[in-house]
């Protein structure tokens, strides 16, 4: 993910104590209260850990953290996890795509390794569009709930607003041109209608991309998706394609399907990083000692940092180095490999 300027400012801050709250989020309505209970318990741990610091050093941070309890939107509409960082100067909330273990930490550094996982590099679409022969269904990729995009006609007969299904002769207007055809349209006419609707859909999606930056994941039966891609495969608004209709999937099944789609990109990214370490190791361009790595970072000799972890432990020393690397604009990645021990915990690849 791209780190915001405010987050980088917070990571660079010298103001302590630094507070990290890491927690999974369950978006289903019955479990929203579980999210709040988890957060309150973590906040209770934070307050206990803050007792060793003077109150004036953390009172503003706690006020901001306590105010989040009332933010119902945060607990209802966030992604799979929340990372909350705060000190007495400011607070930043990061929404993650992957599962995390609930944890809090108070000290002289933030726990940021969950910011740097390969799955957070995967650039996901804003909306998923299930495309059929005569209609579309739109889903918000963030919540995987059905969505409406203002002004976008989702049915053919909405677009052809003068289509009279009860008449023997029907008319439809597109711009200033009026078309007439019989009620029992032949497949050739249906295909023409489809092409005209797809042209309209392409124009609307392009406009949404230009105005709001929206990107779309297109799903649908293979023959339907292929018919659309034959015309518009190279559009910038296209984030990806699922050659399968998702319209009859439950929300859990839909989440699994979308996760599987983006998992391929994540796996490819991990393998690429592993290969870069092996290649650099053969050239004697990899450092593993933390003190030597820090020296090399200060000397601007480090090209990238790759940290391996079991996903449950959070090394303070590793997190400090990751923050230092980010602030020095060094490419950083963390890979969770709970069952693989052949890689060093910290790998600095030199120029």
**pLDDT at residue 184 greater than cutoff 60:** no
For residue 30, what pLDDT is reported?
61
For residue 163, what pLDDT is reported?
40
Q: What does 82-126 look like in DSSP terms, one character per residue?
A: EEEEE-SS-EEEEEESS----EEEEESS---GGGG-GGGTS---S
For residue 165, what pLDDT is reported?
41
Of the candidates 27, 1, 2, 6, the one whose C-alpha atom is nearest the C-alpha of residue 85 is 6
298-333 residue pLDDT tens: 999 999 999 998 877 788 999 999 999 999 999 999
Residue 155 per-residue DSSP state: B
Q: How far apart are CA 280 and CA 151, in angstroms?
A: 53
Average pLDDT, the chain: 86
Q: What residues contact residue 307 under an 8 Å CB cut-off, 6+ apart?
A: 113, 116, 318, 322, 332, 333, 334, 335, 345, 346, 347
58-106 residue pLDDT tens: 999 999 999 999 988 888 776 788 999 999 999 999 988 788 889 999 9
For residue 167, what pLDDT is reported?
41
Q: For 295-299, what is the mean pLDDT?
A: 95
More confident residue, 194 or 70: 70
The pLDDT confidence band at residue 125, using thresholds 50, 70 and 90, is confident
Q: Is the peptide bond before 17 cis (omega within 30 degrees of 0)?
A: yes
Least trusted range by pLDDT, from 54-63, 117-126, 132-141, 341-350: 117-126
Q: How far apart are CA 300 and CA 304, in angstroms?
A: 11
For residue 160, what pLDDT is reported?
58
The pLDDT confidence band at residue 291, using thresholds 50, 70 and 90, is very high
196-255 residue pLDDT tens: 888 999 999 999 999 999 999 999 999 999 999 999 999 999 988 999 999 999 888 998
Alpha helix stretches (DSSP H) within 213-339:
222-232, 251-282, 290-298, 316-327
For residue 256, what pLDDT is reported?
86
Determine the 3-state secondary structure of 150 from DSSP.
Answer: coil
133-172 residue pLDDT tens: 778 999 998 788 899 888 888 887 776 554 444 444 455 5
Considering only CA atoms, give the Rg of the chain.
25
Q: How far apart are CA 11 and CA 332, in angstroms?
A: 15
Q: For 267-272, what is the mean pLDDT?
A: 83
The pLDDT confidence band at residue 175, using thresholds 50, 70 and 90, is low
For residue 201, what pLDDT is reported?
92
Return the top range by mean pLDDT from 119-123, 168-172, 277-281.
Answer: 277-281
For residue 231, what pLDDT is reported?
92
């Amino acid at each position: 993910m791209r780190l915001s300027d405010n987050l980088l400012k917070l990571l660079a801050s010298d103001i302590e104590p630094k507070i990290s709250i890491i927690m999974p989020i369950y978006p289903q309505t019955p479990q929203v209260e579980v999210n709040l209970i988890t957060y309150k318990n973590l906040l209770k741990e934070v307050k206990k850990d803050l007792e060793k610091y003077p109150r004036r050093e953390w009172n503003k941070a706690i006020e901001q953290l306590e105010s989040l309890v009332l933010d119902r939107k945060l607990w209802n509409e966030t992604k799979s996890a929340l990372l909350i960082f705060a000190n007495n100067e400011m607070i930043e909330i990061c929404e993650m795509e992957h599962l995390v273990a609930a944890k809090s930490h108070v000290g002289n550094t933030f726990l940021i390794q969950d910011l740097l996982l390969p799955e957070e590099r995967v650039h996901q679409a804003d909306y998923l569009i299930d495309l059929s022969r005569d209609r579309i269904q739109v889903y918000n990729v963030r919540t995987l709930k059905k969505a409406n995009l203002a002004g976008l006609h989702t049915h053919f007969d909405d677009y052809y607003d003068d289509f009279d299904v009860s008449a023997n002769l029907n008319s439809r207007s597109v711009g200033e041109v009026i078309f007439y055809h019989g009620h029992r349209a032949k497949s050739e006419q249906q295909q023409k209608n489809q092409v005209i609707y797809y042209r309209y859909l392409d124009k609307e999606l392009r406009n949404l991309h230009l105005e709001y930056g929206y990107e779309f994941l297109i799903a649908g039966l293979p023959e339907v998706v292929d018919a659309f891609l034959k015309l518009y495969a190279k559009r910038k608004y296209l984030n990806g394609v699922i050659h399968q209709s998702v319209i009859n999937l439950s929300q859990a099944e839909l989440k699994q399907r979308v996760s599987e789609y983006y998992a391929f990109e994540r796996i490819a990214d991990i393998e690429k990083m592993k290969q870069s370490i092996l290649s650099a190791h053969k050239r004697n361009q990899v450092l593993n000692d933390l003190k030597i790595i820090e020296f090399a970072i200060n000397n601007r000799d480090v090209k990238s940092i790759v940290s391996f972890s079991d996903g449950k432990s959070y090394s303070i020393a590793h997190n400090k180095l990751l923050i230092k690397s980010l602030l020095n604009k060094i490419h950083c990645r963390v890979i969770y490999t709970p069952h693989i021990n052949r890689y060093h915990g910290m790998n600095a690849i030199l120029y």
